[in-house]
Homo-oligomer: A and B are copies of this chain.
Amino acid sequence: MLNNSKDKQLSAWRLYLASHTHLTTHLDSHLKASGLISFDTLIILTALIESPNNRLRMSELAANITFSRSGLSRKVDRLERAGLIRREPAPNDRRGWYAVATDEGIEARAKALSVYEPELENVWRSVLSEEESAQLSALLSEVIKRATG
């Protein structure tokens, strides 16, 4: 009864969700326990720092991120108060703003990565061999490509 293709998909999906929850909560708690920036903040700073001049328009940043536009405004507010990001007006469009990673933000991200990356490597290595990891990457790239293409 549980053998048809639909149920296979449903159980694959459940595994997917369960593994995601497990891994993210583990990694996130490691960051918090070390008194570092949160995972969300890490993602935002990374998006900025990987862009030219450490900056992205609010709308571009929102597109990279899970948050709604208004949620992002508030998140950037907080990060600005914390000194990790600053806002700059867009030169050619007076409606627009850039979010820019500050030096402090760049440093905070580097510190977080120095905890996060080894731990990610640890966790990942403890659950998948290098070959399996490559297999998984290949599958997921296909997922992304077909989902967005």
Which residues of B are found within 8 Å of A10, using beta-carbon distances?
117, 120
Chain copies in complex:
2
| Cβ-defined contact, B16 with A133, below 8 A | no
Q: List which A126-140 residues lie within 8 A (CB) of chain B.
A: 126-128, 130, 132-137, 139-140
Give the total of A residues in contact with B, Cβ under 8 Å. 45
Q: Determine the distance from Cα of A123 to Cα of B10 in the docked complex, in whole angstroms.
A: 11
Which chain B residues border A135 with CB–CB below 8 Å? 135, 139
Contacts of A141 in B (CB 8 A): 15
Chain A positions within 8 Å of B, measured between CB atoms, are: 5-6, 8-13, 15-25, 66, 117, 120-121, 123-128, 130, 132-137, 139-144, 146-148
